[in-house]
Amino acid sequence: MQRATGFMTRLGVVVAAIAAIALGVVLSGCDTAPENANQVTEGQGIKLGDLLYNVQITRILNPADEEDSAYLVGQKPPGPDQYYLGVFMRVDNDGDSSAQVATDFKVVDTVGDTFDPIPSKSLFALKLGATIHPGDQVPEGETPAANGPIEGAMVLFRIDSSAVQDRPLTLEIPSPEETGRVQLDI
């Protein structure tokens, strides 16, 4: 009986040690504050000044697709070897004063080619330079962008087919303090 008790005690210590190691591995792999880094991957928040940008999804948009046509309102068909790229995001103002959404986002490929946002008349478009009051967010509630399938506002780019080959693409978000970078997942 004493052997069984000793064995059970040692087994308990081993199990507790394994659990502690596993918890340490899990916690060390977690980025508890990705919004404080100036470079993140799509799906992680990036804090620039008082604004927290979160790119929810990035995808090539197809003008012939019924859903995508709502994102491409007023756009001419892309040229040969060109694509429309929609970067959908949410922006929250976590500060105590109003702040402006960036106006000059850029998409950069691995060889340094850059692509600027193009004007969009879509109801899903992020208004570049929009003012967000403390505690507010874009897209605002009860808007097509907030209630759409992605639930994010879109920044639209026209990119070359070479950029699709020269991935990963990076979204650069300028702010007065620094430029944040989000690695896009397309």
* Number of CB atoms found within 10 A of residue 18's CB: 10
Three-state DSSP class for residue 45? strand
* Residues 25 and 46 occupy one common structural domain: no
Task: Enter the tokens of residue 141.
Answer: 């509630």
The number of helices, as runs of H, and strands, as runs of E, in the chain is 4, 12
Please give the Cα distance from 45 to 90 (Å, whole number). Answer: 9
Task: Dump pLDDT digits (tens) for 45-82.
Answer: 999 999 999 999 999 999 999 989 999 999 999 999 99
Q: Where do we find the tokens 């008082």?
A: 50
Q: Is the pTM of this model over 0.85?
A: no
Which domain covers residue 80, as residue numbers?
Answer: 34-183
| CATH number, domain with residue 149 | 2.60.40.1240
* Residues 6 and 65 occupy one common structural domain: no
Average pLDDT per 10 consecutive residues for the chain, totaling 186 residues: 50 41 38 64 96 97 93 95 97 97 97 97 97 97 93 97 94 95 96
